[in-house]
Chains A and B, each alone.
Chain A
Amino acid sequence: MTTYLRDMADDREAPIVRYAKAVRHFLGNKRPLFPDESLLPGTTTSKVFGAPVYPELTGMLIWPELDTISNRKDNPQYLSPKDAAILAHNVFPYWMERNILERTRKEYHDPRCLKLFEKLVFFITSKPGAVSHTIPWYEQIITYGTEGIMAQAQNRQERLGAKDNLTAEQKAQFDFYEAVQIALDGVGAYSRNLAQQAKVLAATERDLKQKDNLLEMARICSTIPMKPATGFREALTALWIAQIAVHAENINMAISPGRVDQYLYPYYQKDIASGVLSRKDALELVGCFWLKLNDNTNLVPNTAEKLFGGAGSVPAVTLGGITPEGTDAVNDLTWLFLRATELLKLRDPNVNARYHHEVNSDAYLERVSEVIAETRAIPAFHNDVTAIRTLEKQGIETADARDFAIIGCVELGSAGRAYDMPAAIIMNLVAPLEMALYQGKRPITKDEQIGPVTANPNEMTSFEQFFDSFKTQLKFVIDEAVTLNNSFGRIHQETMPPALLSALFDGPIANGRDLSRGGAKYNSSGATHVGFADVVDSLNAIEQVVFIDKKFTFNELINGIRNNFEKEKELHAYLVNRAPKYGTSHPVAKKNAQQLISLLFQLYQEHTNYRGGRYRPAFWTMTNHSGLGKLTGALPNGRKAGRNFSSGITPVSQATVELADCLDAVAALNSDEIPGNVAFNLKYTQVKTPEESKEFSALVKTYFQKGGMQVQFNIMNYEMLIRAMEHPEDSMNLLVRVSGYSAWFNDLTRAMKEEIVARTAYDIIDRRAAKYPAEYTGLIPCS
């Protein structure tokens, strides 16, 4: 890409056209690889399992590590010295002034919001990665082929007339249609190269089965995805090649295939009916697809392991739920995808099961539960009823809302129609809490005045006064984050508009605008939050202990947390045991939890993003809750300095003894105010017998009936996890659920492993927190 843009591009061309040509150049020159006996062709990178470098986006983060990334302790990624030198001397220098981060800085003259972002402990944004976290409308390329889409674009371009007579707006549309055709042409070029290479390999292939396989792929790639698919294997191939192609232009973060069991079904059904395909063949193909989705991961700097530990590229697939017409969407292909998941037990794709408790069958519910019990971690469950309603309230038409799929971790979006960018903002909720305690400062940034100077807590006479300060600080941080995201967005519009991805969406071609300019039918940005439970419990503690019980003064509380409770044992015990906890039935806890949800919803929905969409709050955390927790001092809920925060929307580890209370509390949160969805992590000690599996299903169904949005599981007890932590060599295949995605336990940092160990494990028999091993008490946040 760099070679093209630096050496061959015409700077006079519109950015969208220039970039589309770079994509075409890249795809045309991309090595067509067949690294194994997969039934699907091609690879995302040039390696069997690779991390693509996007120097124009965030790739430069790796520059300091080029010599050491191959040998680093956490998540080493092999880079040859030759490639390292190319990056250091040929590629990165070109982008030094040109990547999104730098362009934004210069354009907006070192804005305050950028400086705050750079501290990394208030909020971060994935916007420097441009477009990611979305679900393309792959159905389009399968149904029409690239030639069909190109024809649509050409048609519209011609209707505009000669370029010289157009207004500025129309010229932009003209360029967009031009770019779409160019980029899609590149996809065709890559596919034809694949066909060619397959033929070459087949000629010398001695294994007859593989030879046939290569010849078949050669046949398919000579027309797919240029022409419409005519069968299941062709459809799946088109889908996979499209996924590769999209990654030529866009960063490999959560580009999610969506409702694969829906749009691939007609092809599957046709081939099964005609006898061309057997279920066994289909399962084999699906398995290949699952493996292909695992062929790439993110290129991340060393420190990223602390915040996004163990994550692959998290492409999400979504199964089940209901159709746009409201009927049961579960079909034969759904069962097949579940079977592949159960057999392969992979980190990616991130498999999600939509479940509608009024329409989907109990058999489906129980089958998904079985797969979770078998894999101990996947898939995650999503509640159709709450998801559809919360999207409708965001202005999504009912049929489109029913067609939602999961993006990346847990986020909701109408598949192929919505550009939702859910990781636009990742906000540390503990930051404004501390700023309210310390009048606009935080211990980690020492004496720097970050936010407004709010009232001195020692002079407060009511909890409402403190909550007001917290609101002020929260609003300040949100405003900065939103301003920055909108700034990045505008720069992105001007520099790297994604023509290819836009072509594979429902909306842009009809509207004549690419995704970054709001071409999708629906637009939004997502803001997720770290430390929800810790903040709620801290608010509870302040309200109950200082203002209701009047057991300790605010001054004593703040001194206690400053000292990390070194001498304040009674205060600490009181905060841990007597202050109300989110995840229980205590009215103060329920009130504060809901109040925070409502407040965030209200503050975000006041803002519009640069594409005309609203901001949607969410609560998933990847491993930010661990990375940020390590850096933060003690908190009013009794959490000690340096301990992990809680993950997603989950209550603080070991703070909620009763599973029933925990489920009730999380389900009670108003889902209409959480359009971005949640990650709720539950741990059960085991689910072995058929009875236990049925009870497991019953709990999920009831939790959803009560309004819970999402739930994901780790079916493992403390002892098993501790053994895996102390003896990684014995647990190479242990897959765990982190906070919205799955990871190999061994890939996680020590701190993150400890966080998973410490999560409350509910005993399958008595539904209460299982006994926690005493020697590891130090891992519990509030112990």
Chain B
Amino acid sequence: MKYPLVARIQRLSTHDGPGLRDVIFFKGCPLHCLWCHNPENVNAAATMLWFEERCISCGKCQDACPNPGHSKGAQPPVHSNQCTCCGVCADACPALAIERVGRKIEPKDLVSTLLKDKSYFDNSNGGITFSGGEPALWPKYVGNVAQSLKQHGVTVGIETAGYFDLGPFQQLLQPWLDFIFFDLKLYDAKAHQKYTGIDNAQILSNFSILARQMGQRLIPRTPLVPGITDTEENLRHIGALVSKSGAGQWQHLTFNSSYELKWKCMGQAPATFHSGKNDSVNAPQ
């Protein structure tokens, strides 16, 4: 079984399903959306983040780096494009200004960690939501964890962008899901390719099939990215698709600019968006 790396576990969230929920963010995503709020999770392998406001410029990261050739001169060393994400600098940093995102967790350990919050779930009709990245990339692992949780009486949900092989998903993961948050970002195939890096045919197909099977338990969601997804045309098309799919209530997700911070932590300039014009996005360099 292939193990995904876990980026983080967010406890007692209220934005990712009913009640209080623990959300597990996995690394690895087939899409590369320009507005991604968790850009460090796109890469399936470990990613390094640098938090500038915590840095005290002590240089311990430079000293610790096993590849001095690349780290010298790079400020911080993790933003050099020769960084191997080994994480030694993160251990050496006294200010916790460097984070190595992504660790391997045994399914049973993950389950027992999550079950510690069971009383919060029970008292609030909450549970677990898988997110990321794209959790559906790992149907065996995630399905294994989900099954275990269901046996303990915990409700399980997933947030997905919809781009995955349907077969393994239906076989290994879907039986243990109480709900699916299904992202529908862009209806137009060319626009979808341009802004997310992939075509949306598979996504739309998965959506229709799963909507018929799950009914109200599949909740379509559209992030409202100014000038890109929030156009009247895009929303009209998606709305039409949703209304004849049999899926649950369509949710719009408001856009907030907090995503910019993560990109900067990765040493990349974030895209900026303006409402109204379709081609107005300033793509990152």
Contacts and interface: CB of A to CB of B under 8 A. Distances in A.
A573 B10 CA distance: 25
B114 to A, nearest CB: 11
Contact of B124 (A574, A578, A695): A695
B232 interface: no
B94 interface: yes
A698 B95 contact: no
A695 B58 contact: no
Contact of B11 (A569, A574, A695, A767): A767
A661 B10 CA distance: 11
A661 B120 CA distance: 12
Contacts of B60: 570
B117 A660 contact: yes
Contacts of A577: 54, 94-96
A573 B95 contact: yes
Interface in A691-715: 691-692, 694-695, 697-699, 701-702, 705-706
A768 interface: yes
Contacts of A705: 119, 123
A367 B23 CA distance: 29
A607 B49 CA distance: 54
A576 B20 CA distance: 30
A766 B15 contact: yes
B123 A570 contact: no
Nearest to A777: B53
Contact of A699 (B13, B20, B58, B94): B20
A765 interface: yes
Interface in A318-343: none
Contact of A767 (B14, B54, B94, B96): B14
B56 interface: yes
A701 B117 CA distance: 13
Contacts of A574: 94-95
Contacts of B124: 694-695, 698-699, 702
Contact of A658 (B11, B53, B120): B11
A774 interface: yes
Contacts of B116: 664
A705 B124 CA distance: 13
A659 interface: yes
Contacts of B54: 573, 577
Given A659-B12, A692-B14, A766-B15, A774 B53 contact: yes
Contacts of A757: none
B239 interface: no
Interface string A349-364: 0000000000000000
A702 B53 CA distance: 35
Contacts of B95: 573-574, 576-577
A226 interface: no
A766 B13 CA distance: 5
A237 B20 CA distance: 46
Contacts of B13: 765-767
A659 B14 CA distance: 13
A695 B119 contact: no
A569 B58 contact: yes
Given A577-B54, A578-B96, A702 B123 contact: yes
A17 B123 CA distance: 57
B132 to A, nearest CB: 16
A695 B19 contact: yes
Contacts of A767: 10-14, 20
A764 interface: yes
Interface string B109-131: 00000001101100110100000
Contacts of B19: 695, 698
Nearest to A774: B53
A698 B56 contact: no
Interface string A576-589: 11100000000000
Contacts of A576: 95
B20 A698 contact: yes
A698 B60 CA distance: 44
Interface in A553-601: 569-571, 573-574, 576-578
A569 B57 CA distance: 10
B15 A660 contact: no
B177 to A, nearest CB: 22
Nearest to B55: A573
Contact of A764 (B14, B53, B120, B123): B14
A570 B95 CA distance: 8
A766 B20 CA distance: 10
Contacts of B58: 569-570, 573
A699 B120 contact: yes
B56 A569 contact: yes
B119 A706 contact: yes
Interface string B256-278: 00000000000000000000000
Nearest to B116: A664
A274 B14 CA distance: 48
A768 B94 CA distance: 22
Interface string B188-227: 0000000000000000000000000000000000000000
Interface string B6-18: 0000111111000
Nearest to A694: B124
Interface of A: 569-571, 573-574, 576-578, 658-661, 664, 691-692, 694-695, 697-699, 701-702, 705-706, 764-768, 774
10 contacts: A576-B95, A577-B54, A577-B96, A691-B14, A692-B14, A695-B14, A698-B124, A765-B13, A767-B12, A767-B14
5 residue pairs, one from A and one from B, having the closest CB atoms = A698-B124, A660-B11, A573-B95, A574-B94, A577-B96
Given A661-B11, A706-B119, 19 more contacts: A570-B94, A573-B54, A574-B95, A577-B54, A578-B94, A660-B117, A660-B120, A692-B14, A694-B124, A695-B14, A695-B20, A698-B126, A701-B123, A705-B119, A705-B123, A764-B14, A767-B10, A767-B14, A767-B20
